[in-house]
Amino acid sequence: MSRYVFTATMVMAVVTYLVRMTPITLMRGRLKSRFFRSVLAYAPYAVLSAMTIPHILDSTASPLSALVGLIAAVALAMMKRGLLTVAVGASAAVFVAELFLIH
Amino acid sequence: MKLSDFKEGALGGVPIALGYLSVSFAYGIMAAGGGIDPLSAVLISMTNLTSAGQLAGTQLIIDGATYFQIAVTTLVINLRYMLMSLSLSQRIDPKMSTGERLLVSYGITDEIFAVAYQREKAPNTPYMLGLISLPYVGWTLGTLLGATAGNILPERLCSALGIAIYGMFVAIVIPQCRKSHPCLVVVAVAAALSCLLKYVPVLSSVPTGWAIIICTVAASVLGAVLYPEEVDEV
């Protein structure tokens, strides 16, 4: 393990822990700023969206098979399936698509 | 330590652990594919216990980003835990000591938060420890298997599993978009900005880490300006 990877891991770990630990340990009331509350509420969905689109297209052997996987994931999510089902379903769709796309 | 509370928590953690096992398996493959050794990947999983946050962080490590970029990206992506931690502070057993809070907060993830928050009784320390234990094992074990055995899997299978973690993100985002029009707008704006920053010539020179931050902050602030009142429960 390189020193860079180890230090970067610790940086991530400390930041993540502080984010989780601070409110539950220190804060007892509700955030007063509605604006800040709103930003915080939207941020998780914005970040997941920005991480997924368009990078999901690079996550498999071909952008086309990834697109098939994305469509499968969206369809399953629209059908209100759980996290595990959607993740496995997307993988299965990619697998099947690549049987046809990649020889 | 009350065993019944611990047991109840552990039982609630079983489906989460199974989900984590498969997603962290995909994470392990991704990390190993980027040249991160298995021990490092496992250490990242054990010390971070996040999906999106550590995925982005690992991508940045692979790209050789600065510690500052890694810290800011991790902060922005994991900011949601602040809200969950805040919500949970209103919900947990008020008698929970500071030491117990320091311990339990280590395991706040989207899924663990959701299950704990929905418990009828106020979650206490034994319950939370039970709930966190199996997902933690699942997350660690899956990473180890993915990082070590991932490369003995057929290439087709690895390729298919590469999308699993994104599938989970889709599964988190879509239901919220169906419920809330503002959320749909925010998600669409973030996705559009992200595409611009990846494909438009000059803009694509922005490193991925900053691009994700820019998209997130811009879309969330826009959402907060346009629809400040729509979000009261998260």
Here the ipTM equals 0.86
CB atoms within 10 A of CB A4: 11
Q: In chain B, which residues have their Cβ closer than 8 Å to the Cβ of A1?
A: 37, 39-40, 43
Put simply, whether A79 touches B (Cβ < 8 Å) is no
What is the structure's pLDDT at A29? 59
Phi/psi-derived region of residue A80, left when phi > 0, alpha when psi is between -120 and 50, beta in every other case: left
CB count in 10 Å sphere of residue B34: 13
Low-confidence ranges of chain A (pLDDT < 50): none
Contact check, Cβ <8 Å, B190/A49: yes
- Which residues of chain B register pLDDT less than 50? 233-234
Residue B1: per-residue pLDDT? 57
Q: Any chain B CB within 8 A of the CB of A95?
A: yes
pLDDT at B234: 42
| Residue A24 with chain B: CB contacts under 8 Å | 85-86, 88-89, 92, 101, 104-105, 108
**Beta-carbon count within 10 A of B225 CB:** 11
The two structure tokens encoding residue B24? 């962290």
Neighboring chain A residues of B170 at a CB cutoff of 8 Å = 52, 70, 73-74, 77, 86, 90
Q: For residue B136, what is the DSSP state?
A: H
Other beta carbons within 10 Å of A14: 14
Predicted confidence (pLDDT) per residue in B10-52, tens digit: 988 887 887 788 789 889 988 998 899 999 999 999 999 997 7
* Domain limits, chain A: 31-101
